[in-house]
Amino acid sequence: MTKAGPDVSVPPDAGTADVPEAASPRPILRALFCVQSLEGGGAERQIAYLANALARRRWDVHLAVLRFGPNWTRIDRERIRLHRLEALGNYDPRLLRGIWRVARSVRPSVVLTWLPQMDTLGGCCANLLGLPWILCERTSGRAYGRGLRELVRRQIARGASAVVANSEGGAAYWRPGRPGRPVLVVPNIVPVAEIEASAAAAPGTLRPAGGPGVIVCVGRLVEVRNHATVIEALSRVRRETAARLEVLGKGPEAGRLRSLAARLRLGDAVSFLGFVDDVYPRMRRADAFVSVSALEGHPNATIEAAVAGCPLVLSDIPEHRALFSDDEALFVPPRDPDGLAEALLATLGDPDGARARAEAARLRVRAAAEADVAEIYDQLMRGLANRAPR
């Protein structure tokens, strides 16, 4: 296994050798996940869920990863082998060499690449080695521009055996120019049992008797998520009620958002809590969950909030409309603080109606989550591996 670069945060028990294989008989087929990190994002969590599920289906699963993070703890280290990549950063040429070496050593039946950097580097290695590979698209095509890096990624992706997107918007981006090669829409894994068990430990509400309503916002702090709109809306909400906002997540917009909250004199009304490992109790206890992203793939946090039973206030974008109706959520334009404030006041002012919508959303998501996502990946991967030249 290649060594970690100096910027890699290695868990204390990670060691410097591959995780030993489980004692069960060696699986026939081998999967290599090419992953930039196991940090706290939704894509990284999906990687952990899918890798574990495939390992339970007797795949020999390997992860080539540059950086560890909170989702490292979700990996089944008895079944899955970790290969730490040596690099000083995302654009260190040693990263490509490290992926090449891991792929040559592991000799996977199928390669899965996650997020643009690994689609480019992992896909390049898979193409050169003649390996079947799946590009796992995690967002909408609207997220990408026409820059050189994206043009290179699209060119390399012509060699992908299949594209699996978690939304129709992501699949539509890749369908042109891929006749005869599958582009599938497969939703994210929703850990319903985990969410419900965790949320059940937090009955009731964060609001004390007669106290202010609590709004939660979960996601990486980047411009496209429109956290600034939420903070501006809160300043309007607080003209009528002493609501407060909990912002869960980290990202490059953190400083600007803190400055905005200070400029609007929100004081303790906004809590920036950073990465929170177990968000489900907070979702369960909150009076509203808000997400006004300009675009999404398959919005993990929103779906998880629905399973936890939290009333939803969402941006009126195709990705949210594909999941919920007006009977299950309130919808507002993405960059409309006044409209968002109105929706939040309606939610806080009518808790019975809000909880009725939340229950309808919970039942819809729960029904959709019954599909076995890992089984879909398993069948696709086996088909690709069996058709590959030996």
Average pLDDT (190-204) is 79
Amino acid at residue number 283: M
Percent of the chain whose pLDDT exceeds 70: 89
* pLDDT for res 202: 64
User: Which of the four pLDDT bands, split at 50, 70 and 90, describes residue 194?
Assistant: confident
User: Which of the four pLDDT bands, split at 50, 70 and 90, describes residue 300?
Assistant: confident
Quick: pLDDT tens for 239-268: 999 999 999 998 899 999 999 999 999 989
Quick: pLDDT tens for 273-298: 998 878 899 999 999 999 999 888 78
Comparison of pLDDT for 358 and 15, the residue scoring more:
358
Quick: pLDDT tens for 137-147: 988 877 787 88
197/284 Cα distance (integer angstroms) = 11
**Mean of per-residue pLDDT scores for the chain:** 87
Structure token digits, residue 79: 């079944």
- C-alpha dihedral sign at 383, 384, 388, 390: negative
* pLDDT for res 207: 54
User: Which of the four pLDDT bands, split at 50, 70 and 90, describes residue 23?
Assistant: very low
* pLDDT for res 204: 54
* pLDDT for res 386: 86
Residue 305 three-state SS: helix
Comparison of pLDDT for 205 and 154, the residue scoring more:
154
Average pLDDT (212-224) is 92
Contact 232, 260 (CB under 8 A): yes
End-to-end CA distance of the chain: 25
Residues 6+ apart with CB under 8 A from 229: 292, 334, 335, 336, 337, 340
User: Which of the four pLDDT bands, split at 50, 70 and 90, describes residue 330?
Assistant: very high
* Domains of the chain, each with CATH number or no CATH: 30-187+371-387 (3.40.50.2000), 192-368 (3.40.50.2000)
* pLDDT for res 31: 98
User: Which of the four pLDDT bands, split at 50, 70 and 90, describes residue 18?
Assistant: very low
